[in-house]
Each structure stands twice: as structure tokens, then as C-alpha cells.
Amino acid sequence: MKMSKALSSDFWIEARSLRQTSPRQGERGLGSQNGCPKVCCTCCLKGDILNDSHAEIVAKRSFQRYLLYQMWLAASHQQCSIFIPGTETGKWKLKPNIIFVFFSSHTPCGDASIIPISEPENQLSKPVTGDDAAGQSAECISNHDRLGPEDKRKSEKMASNHIIKRMKTDDDDYSSVITEDLAVQQVSVKRVGDTNPKSCECSAEIQTANKETGLGRPKVVDVYRTGAKCVPGELGDARIPGLGYHCVGLLRVKPGRGDRTCSMSCSDKLARWNVLGCQGALLMHFLQYPLYLSAIIVGKCPYSQEAMRRAIIERCQHISFLPDGFLTHEVKLLQSDLQFEHSRQAIQEVQTNSRTKLVPCSAAISWSAVPEQPLDVTSDGFRQGTTKKGIGSHQSRSKICKVELFHTFQKLVTSISQEDLPDTLRMKTLETYWDYKEAALNYQEAWKVLRSQALTGWVKNAKEYLHFT
């Protein structure tokens, strides 16, 4: 599959039978984009804006569109569906030997992208400079410039003395980071003004690598930056130049273009899907069990197995008392040697002497294995070609925005007789998108447990943005 050179991501989800031999035959949902649209925080009350168009999210929404179609096939008693009847009335389960594989050409933004950089640089791209960091995120300023006057003074003093002192707060809480000159020793640091008692730890991979430096392993000197910002009210990054810039394991929101966004990072969303499934709340009405990814494969790019595992699995591994069927899934995390030919990194490798600034495209391309309008192209949250006058019209909507997926779900519900509906939908007065989501009781209970025990700082949409019909 080829994309415009303006695009820098390529993601798809495969539904693959274990007997299938051709990998491309199994594609079911695909998305390509890089960045949140300008309207990302101007959430529309009608649900007709594609608020988060990072490619992982576009692919997942395309996949949900495919699942809705497959559920309609099952309810219509067509054998070509991937679902078979479950043990409860109105419930369905996946056919045996079908698995879902998620491919990403790049590590997801957020915690999974905080990856060690070794010296000499043995990874696939050069160490991050100010310009490179701008390419990976919307935070287009150097580490030192990110600090306030007081922090700059302290960081300069640290650099000259080659030591970080332990700064104690009233609650005697510390966040753990490592600097270049204290690579083997874990040092506790907390920025003045931080009051959140939640701790933050440095990467175990960094500590291990630097402990083994004398054994021939390259020394870790820095980390790749992520543009995703720590959620409001939670512990923030130390922003100390070098290894101590980021704290790991934190929830983050996407930088977007312009105003701060309300969208959680892709690392955080993948962690959520790894517990709640990829089907979402609406489809959970019809499913006996959540649908989990069997594997997440990342293409050729800077990659850390430890960072991926920490971000997607380990942050939620300790939770307990989930409803029946939900679990902290042990998804397989793999890396491929396949590089997306139009990625920023691939273009930079070819155009080494070019000073052309690479800017992410605002268009998002999605494809679903459905018979009607499988291809969908949006720009800045609306269908490509939408004029200012056309915003808000039916024609301006992406096929994978909230209201369109909701209408597809409603058509599915109305196509099934009352006696064949699951208990959560039978003889209920449900009207809005919010009503239907809240009525998926087991899903909402699992989400409540996950949010209270692991993802405590998750930024939720206000109810008024979900009360559309």
C-alpha cells in the first residue's frame, strides 16, 4: 500500500484465520495520518467531528466499522460472519481460529515512545536534536528552552557539577530519573512546585543498559522525546536535559496543532484497549467476551520492547476485580523490519542534505472491509472537500466519527426483533449515544475498575458532548 509522501504513518488491523497464508488478504481496518486536527479540543455536540485522527485511532475506528458490519451479518444469520452465537440470548462470540493483529509503522505516541538513545548511536535514526524533536512532536523547542528561569539555573548548575541533589518536598515524595553522569545510580528528583504524591520512575531498561556499559553494551545518554503532554493534575516531566527529561509510566494527552487537546495518547489508548477490548462500549452489548488484539507489531523505527511493554501491559497489570470476561491481556509485542517508505525517518534518510521542513499532513485516510463506501478521507476532522458552509451537514461527516458509527449501531439494533436482543437492550428506553454506552453495564464496570486502579488521571469527555442522537 502506498500513501502520499505527506503522510507519515501506516496502520492496519488484520482479522486472520490461523489457516490463512496471505497476510494482505486479512486486512479489515486501515488508517493513515499523523497528528490531531485543529478542531481536536473544540468537541462538537453532534459527535460529527473526528476529534482524534492519529493513525492508530483511525485504524481502530475503521475496525469497529467492520465489526458492526460483521455483527449485522451474524444477526441476519449469514454464515460468512466472523461471529457465532454465544450462550446468552442476543450475545455473540468470535469464531475459533480468528485473531486480530495490529500493525503500526511507528511506536505509538506517549509513554511507549520514550525510548533510550545509546552512544555510539546504534539505533535506526540519529540522536534527537531540537529539530528532530519537533518532527516527533508539536513541542518544537529545545530541552533547555522548555525550562523556566529557575529550572534553567538549576540544570546548568547540575551540568557543571555533574551531580543532582535530592530535593525534598513536604510529603517526602520523589520521582526517579537518571542523568548521564550518574548512569548507574538511581537518583530521586522532584521539581519545585510539584505536589502530586504519585511517584514517577525512570526506565529500568536505561538502568540495566548503563550498568552493563562496562560489559560492552553501549551507554545510554538520552531518550527520544514524545510530544504528548502529561495530563492536568498529574505529576509532570522533570524536563532535565538528557536522560532525566521525561518521567515514564504517566498518562499523557496529544499535543495537537494549536490548543491543547483532550485526546489521550495512543500509548494510553492501547493500554485501555488491552483491558477493555477494541470493540468499544456499543458493540459490547452484543458480545459475550471482549475482542482483544493477539499481537501489536511495530515497523522499522526507534523501538524499545521494555517501553512498549511498560506502556501497554504493565501499567494495568496489577488491577483486580474486573467483571467476567475482562482481563489484562498479555498481547504479543513484536517488531518488524518493514519500514514505511513515506515516513519522516525514511524521507530524511534519502534527503540528508535537504533543508525542506517536513510537515505532517492534516488528512486522514481510513478503509474498512465493508461493502458501502469502504474508503473515507477526512481533513481537519471532516470529510475531505468540506467547505466552511458545509460543516455540520450530513455530507461533511467521516464514516468513522462518533455519530456515524452510532447510527450504524442503531440500524443494527432495529434490524433485530425484541426477543432476540440482549438483556441490556431489550425493552429499554435508550435514546442518546450516552444512554447506549452507559447501558453496556459490564463494559462500564470494567472501565470504572480500570480507571480507579490504574488510569486514574484519564481525561474524560464531558457528558454534553455525548448526548447526541
Active site residue ranges: 56
Q: Which residues have CB under 8 Å from 299's CB, separation 6+? A: 10, 103, 104, 105, 106, 335, 336, 338, 339, 340
* Closest to 344 in 3D by CA, of 106, 113, 120: 106
Number of neighbours of residue 124 by Cβ within 10 angstroms: 13
Q: For strand 11-17 and strand 295-298, is the pairing parallel, antiparallel, or unpaired?
A: unpaired
Q: Are 376 and 383 in contact (CB under 8 A)?
A: yes
3-state secondary structure at position 175 = strand
Tell me which residue has cell 521542513: 357
Tell me which residue has cell 500500500: 1
Q: Are 345 and 125 in contact (CB under 8 A)?
A: yes
Q: Are 56 and 67 in contact (CB under 8 A)?
A: no
Q: CA-based Rg of the chain, rounded to a whole angstrom?
A: 23
Number of neighbours of residue 201 by Cβ within 10 angstroms: 17
Kindly state the DSSP code that residue 255 receives in the 8-state scheme: -
First to last CA, the chain: 36
What Cα–Cα distance (Å) separates residue 171 from each residue in 161, 166, 354? 27, 14, 51
Number of neighbours of residue 51 by Cβ within 10 angstroms: 23
3-state secondary structure at position 20 = coil
Q: Which residues have CB under 8 Å from 101's CB, separation 6+? A: 13, 14, 16, 26, 293, 294, 295, 296, 297
